[in-house]
């Protein structure tokens, strides 16, 4: 991943006495988080459609020969349940959930360490720069968190998909996807 290479490079450059490089780390970490969530949204989109199409075909055949959606539900994560992007909890917790949370934790740590290491450089530049940088970073971070919560955790994205899929293929119970 480009974000990982860029982050490592920025840490190296920052420790190589170009301390301003640390201030780019939170931006790259946040970009990586949003890009990863964007990729996950396509995974959820594809799974929603494929699961519903598979259920429809199985109903037409009167024999459940297509089982990919059932396998994905068990192996990856269930659709339509509350989750953090693709991290399900409880009995639905999987390795996929672990990786999602692991990447999230590493991203938060990277963001935090980059910010902490860059603050002395920012303070030396003057309070105007500190205020501008921290305000901008806070605004973009808050926007990413709020939109991510709305789309994934609150389920707005999957509700949009379900509305169209329910209209075309009929309503599916939570256990079907």
Across 100-126, average pLDDT: 96
pLDDT, tens digit (0-9, with 9 covering 90-100), for 46-85: 999 999 999 999 999 988 899 999 999 999 999 989 899 9
For residues 42 and 66, give the distance between their C-alpha atoms in angstroms, rounded to a whole number. 21
pLDDT at 35 (0 to 100)? 96
The total number of residues written for the chain in this structure: 177
Question: Residue 126's pLDDT band (boundaries 50, 70, 90)?
Answer: confident
Q: What digits encode the pLDDT tens for the residues 165-177?
A: 999 998 876 556 5
According to DSSP, residue 85 is labeled: T
Q: What is the pTM of this model?
A: 0.88
Q: Are 165 and 172 in contact (CB under 8 A)?
A: yes
């Amino acid at each position: 991943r480009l974000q990982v290479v860029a982050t490592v490079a920025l840490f190296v450059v920052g420790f190589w006495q170009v301390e301003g490089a640390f201030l780019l780390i939170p931006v790259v970490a946040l970009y990586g988080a949003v890009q990863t969530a964007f990729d996950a949204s396509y995974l959820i989109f594809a799974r929603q459609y494929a699961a519903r199409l598979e259920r429809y075909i199985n109903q037409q055949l009167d024999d459940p020969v297509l089982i990919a959606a059932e396998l994905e539900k068990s192996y990856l994560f269930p659709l339509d349940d509350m989750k953090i992007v693709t991290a399900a909890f409880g009995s639905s917790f999987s390795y996929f959930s672990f990786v999602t949370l692991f990447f999230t934790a590493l991203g938060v740590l990277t963001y935090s360490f980059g910010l902490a290491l860059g603050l002395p450089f920012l303070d030396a530049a003057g309070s105007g720069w500190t205020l501008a940088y921290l305000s901008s970073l806070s605004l973009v971070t808050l926007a990413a968190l709020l939109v991510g919560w709305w789309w994934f955790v609150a389920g707005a994205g999957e509700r949009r998909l379900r509305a169209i899929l329910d209209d075309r293929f009929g309503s599916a119970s939570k256990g079907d996807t």
